[in-house]
């Protein structure tokens, strides 16, 4: 048994002082507030490990390259930005994707993320021809997470069309499968592992015909399922033109809404859409740093929460990997949209970073006996956090203030450094090779 001692720790009923956390076999066995220092001292404030509920790991290679005409690509809208993303995707193979993803997941570990939901649609060779192992790209991601010491839920995405009634474009052919049956056959060959779960995803209503969504909904029971929903107004307009309804209404018709579903972005919703998500028990995943980077818009976070929809957080394109910034941005975007402060409590914002169960890890996300031993230690004396109260740390801290991270009882970040991967060096090399 190993004991961690925290000066402060965020427990299920609030922040406690002088907390001893006993760990054995990757699980928390006891939590004792008011304990004298013993074992390994984490100091500062200890939080449960974060769940990143929506990631596209390969998008990390676009960071700093899409913002002006001097960059590799200049992008004016989301739809323009996609062209740069397609060009990047075309350069990846299983080996290069593994190298990139292990560094990306190490960057996430440094930011306190102990579990990632990888929304995976980069399946085949350019042109759509499968690799000898048709899941080579997905397996590369699963191995990358193991290398970085984090858990992964591979949300393998169904992607069949380029738009309503339109075939895949050449740049999208490696995303597609030979219909739903081809997707099911491929995904059934993926095996869960101690650090990996296998989920499913409908890329979007524009990328999967409605009859396939209906059949998909009947084929994925018991798995976590995610979908991009109403990220762009243009998609909403196209859905209305094709089906006479919003994307949310279409998902309800197809039977996909429900407690196993997470709707990613949920940016441009009608009041009726909000009610449908709430009534069905669907979760929403907000990715504020990406949503503003791509000029998507500001989602109705407060309206969704008031209706009873649970909110979680993702880093999506990994333009920023910082769960404090994602959480803080939900509140700050609400302030900009409403003209009011205090739209969410600090506790509510931190709770959004704990969406482990939406990724199939129901035994994580809390510092309590029986839970997975996922701990994030945060310094309270950096130039950013000094003087902040522990219960208001979400408004002060950044990922740079994290000193130590424990995932499943394994100490993967110590004194601000990943113990197994030099994330900066590996990112620089992997991304440089892709763009050379």
Task: State the catalytic residues.
Answer: 265, 316
67 within 8 A of 325, measured Cβ to Cβ: no
The number of angstroms, rounded, from the C-alpha of 369 to the middle of its chain's C-alpha atoms is 26
Residue labelled with tokens 């790209």: 137
186 within 8 A of 192, measured Cβ to Cβ: no
């Amino acid at each position: 048994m190993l004991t961690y001692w925290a000066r402060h720790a965020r427990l299920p009923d609030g922040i406690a002082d002088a907390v001893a956390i006993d760990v054995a076999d990757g699980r928390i066995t006891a939590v004792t507030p008011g304990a004298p220092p013993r074992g390994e001292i984490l100091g500062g404030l200890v939080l449960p490990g974060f769940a990143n509920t929506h990631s596209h790991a390969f998008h990390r290679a676009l960071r700093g390259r899409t913002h002006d005409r001097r960059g590799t690509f200049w992008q004016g809208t989301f739809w323009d930005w996609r062209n740069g993303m397609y060009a990047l995707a075309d350069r990846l193979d299983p080996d290069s994707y593994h190298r990139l993803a292990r560094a990306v997941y190490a960057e996430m570990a440094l930011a306190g993320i102990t579990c990632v939901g990888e929304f995976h649609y980069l399946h085949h060779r350019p042109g759509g021809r499968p690799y000898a192992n048709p899941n080579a790209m997905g397996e590369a991601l699963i191995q990358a997470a193991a290398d970085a010491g984090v858990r992964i839920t591979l949300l393998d995405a169904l992607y069949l069309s380029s738009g309503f009634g339109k075939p895949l474009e050449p740049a999208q052919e490696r995303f597609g499968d030979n219909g739903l049956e081809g997707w099911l056959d491929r995904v059934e060959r993926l095996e869960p592992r101690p650090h990996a779960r296998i989920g499913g995803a409908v890329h979007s209503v524009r990328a999967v015909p409605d009859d396939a969504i209906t059949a998909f909904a009947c084929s994925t029971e018991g798995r976590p399922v995610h979908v991009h929903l109403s990220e762009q107004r243009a998609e909403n307009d196209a859905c209305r033109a094709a089906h006479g309804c919003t994307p949310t209404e279409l998902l309800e018709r197809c039977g996909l809404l429900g407690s196993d579903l997470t709707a990613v972005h949920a940016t441009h919703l009608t009041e009726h859409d909000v009610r449908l998500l709430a009534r069905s028990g669907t979760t929403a995943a907000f990715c504020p740093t990406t949503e503003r980077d791509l000029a998507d818009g500001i989602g109705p976070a407060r309206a969704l929460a008031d209706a009873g929809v649970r909110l979680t957080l993702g880093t999506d394109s990994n333009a920023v990997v910082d769960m404090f910034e994602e959480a803080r941005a939900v509140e700050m975007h609400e302030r900009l949209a409403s003209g009011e402060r205090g739209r969410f409590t600090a506790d509510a914002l931190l709770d959004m970073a704990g969406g482990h169960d939406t990724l199939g890890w129901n035994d994580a996300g809390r510092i309590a006996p029986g839970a997975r031993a996922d701990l994030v230690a945060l310094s309270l004396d950096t130039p950013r956090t000094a003087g902040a109260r522990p219960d208001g740390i979400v408004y002060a801290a950044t990922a740079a203030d994290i000193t130590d991270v424990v995932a499943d009882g394994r100490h993967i970040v110590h004194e601000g450094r990943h113990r197994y991967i030099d994330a900066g060096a590996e990112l620089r090399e992997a991304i440089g090779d892709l763009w050379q």
